[in-house]
Chains A and B, each alone.
Chain A
Amino acid sequence: MDDIKAKIVDILKDVTGLDDAGQDADQDLFKDGVLDSMATVEVLVTLQDTFGITVPVSEFDRSQWSTVNKIAQQVQELE
Chain B
Amino acid sequence: MNNITPYSSPHYFIYLLILLLPIIIGLWFGKRFKIYDFFATVVILITAFFGGNMKQGISLIFYILFEMVVIFTYRAYRKKYNNFWVFTLFVILAIVPLVFVKLDPLLNNATISLFGFMGISYLTFKSVEIVMESRDGVIKELKPFEFVRFLLFFPTITSGPIDRFKRFQKDVLNVPSRDEYVELLHSGVNKLMKGLLYKFIIGYFFGTLLLPKIEILTLSYRGQTPLGLSWALVAYMYVYSMYLFFDFAGYSLFAVAISNFMGIKTPMNFNAPFKSKNIKDFWNRWHMTLSFWFRDFIYMRLMFTIIKHKWFKSRVTIANLGYVTLFLIMGFWHGETWYYIVYGIFHALAMITNDAWLRLKKRHRKSIPSNKFTHAFAVFLTFNVVCFSFMIFSGILDKLWF
Contacts and interface: CB of A to CB of B under 8 A. Distances in A.
Interface of A: 17-18, 36-38, 40-42, 44-45, 48, 56-60
A58 B319 contact: no
B77 interface: no
A38 B132 CA distance: 20
Contacts of B132: 58
A18 B359 CA distance: 11
Given A38-B319, A60-B296, 17 more contacts: A37-B300, A38-B303, A38-B315, A38-B318, A38-B322, A41-B300, A41-B304, A41-B307, A48-B308, A56-B136, A56-B137, A57-B301, A57-B304, A58-B132, A58-B133, A58-B297, A59-B136
Contacts of B304: 41, 44-45, 57
A59 B304 CA distance: 14
B136 A58 contact: yes
Given A36-B280, A56-B136, A56-B138, A42 B315 contact: yes
Contacts of A59: 136, 138
B299 interface: yes
Nearest to A40: B300
Contacts of A60: 296, 300
Interface string B293-324: 00111011101100110000001001100100
B362 interface: yes
Interface of B: 132-133, 136-138, 280, 295-297, 299-301, 303-304, 307-308, 315, 318-319, 322, 362
A73 B200 CA distance: 48
Nearest to B299: A37
Contacts of B138: 56, 58-59
- Could you tell me the dominant secondary structure of chain B's interface residues? helix
The 9 tightest CB contacts between A and B, nearest first, are: A41-B303, A58-B136, A56-B136, A38-B319, A45-B307, A58-B133, A58-B138, A41-B304, A57-B301
A60 to B, nearest CB: 8
Nearest to A36: B280
Contacts of B303: 37-38, 41
A33 to B, nearest CB: 9
18 contacts: A17-B362, A18-B362, A36-B280, A37-B295, A37-B303, A38-B303, A38-B315, A40-B300, A41-B303, A44-B304, A45-B304, A56-B136, A56-B137, A56-B138, A58-B138, A58-B297, A59-B138, A60-B300
Contacts of A48: 308
Nearest to B280: A36
Contacts of A36: 280
Contacts of A17: 362
A23 B308 CA distance: 27
B282 to A, nearest CB: 13
A58 B315 contact: no
A17 B361 CA distance: 12
Contacts of B315: 38, 42
**Max chain A Cβ within 10 angstroms of own Cβ: one of B304, B308, B362:** B304
A22 B401 CA distance: 52
A58 B307 contact: no
A62 to B, nearest CB: 9
A71 to B, nearest CB: 16
Nearest to A56: B136
B127 to A, nearest CB: 15
